[in-house]
Amino acid sequence: MGLIRSIFMTELLMGMKLVFKQMFKPYCTLQYPHVRHDIPDGYRGLMSLLRYEDGSERCVGCSLCEAACPSNCIKVVSDEVPGQPLVRYAREYYLDITRCVFCGFCTEACPVDALAMTKVYEASVFDRRDLMFDKRKLYELGEQHLADGKAYLIAHNMDDGTLFPKEGLGDNRYSFPPVDLGEGERPVTVGLTREALEMELSKQ
């Protein structure tokens, strides 16, 4: 049998048959980098910092992103806005992308939606020190990929409609349904004295 196969080159013919069959089928590969996939809005690419529409920085230097980061790759140096002792900002902001696991926890922790992830996934460099992003680089990324950042916040349900009001976005943000306490019941409010709280509880 093996001899007959060798004489008639059946394996070769079977291979050629497969090649000709596939030759006329549509391509299933992309000619990267000339052709690229459409990246979904929720994609977690390089991080960016966003500004308000008047150009001012959103970040208030609260360090919640730093606390939420499981990789300890964020460092925020907070400071007072000169002349406004109650207003703070991030004087310095560092993000080590080489340690980032792209979990997005920092974006969720941010109370002012200053952080958003872009669709940028090509970050190779010759010097890994270039992947330690500082504040200037992060705001630059935010400006260059603002549409990505907005799409990211909407896709992850983080825009409440007040961040980008001109575009009428935020309809898909989750909000807790109103609580029906029923007749006669009253909520126990924060700030009651111990005696008042005990009285409230004794009524229930």
Q: Which is nearer to ligand SF4, 43 or 200 (CB)?
A: 43
- Going by C-alpha positions, the residue among 68, 67, 160 that lies closest to residue 112 is 160
Return the residue matching tokens 């669709």. 119
Query: What is the smallest separation between the CB atom of 37 and ligand SF4, expressed in angstroms?
Result: 21
If binding is defined by CB under 6 A, does position 46 make contact with ligand SF4?
A: no
Q: Which is nearer to ligand SF4, 81 or 200 (CB)?
A: 81
Q: Are 170 and 160 in contact (CB under 8 A)?
A: yes
Q: How many CB atoms within 10 Å of residue 120?
A: 16
Dihedral sign for Cα atoms in the order 4, 6, 11, 14: negative
Q: In this chain, which of 46, 114, 116, 153 binds ligand SF4, going by CB under 6 A?
A: 114
Q: Are 192 and 200 in contact (CB under 8 A)?
A: yes
| Interacting residues with ligand SF4 between 79 and 108 (CB under 6 A) | 90, 95, 100-106
Per CB under 6 A, residues contacting ligand SF4 are: 59-65, 68-71, 73-74, 76, 90, 95, 100-106, 109-110, 112, 114-115
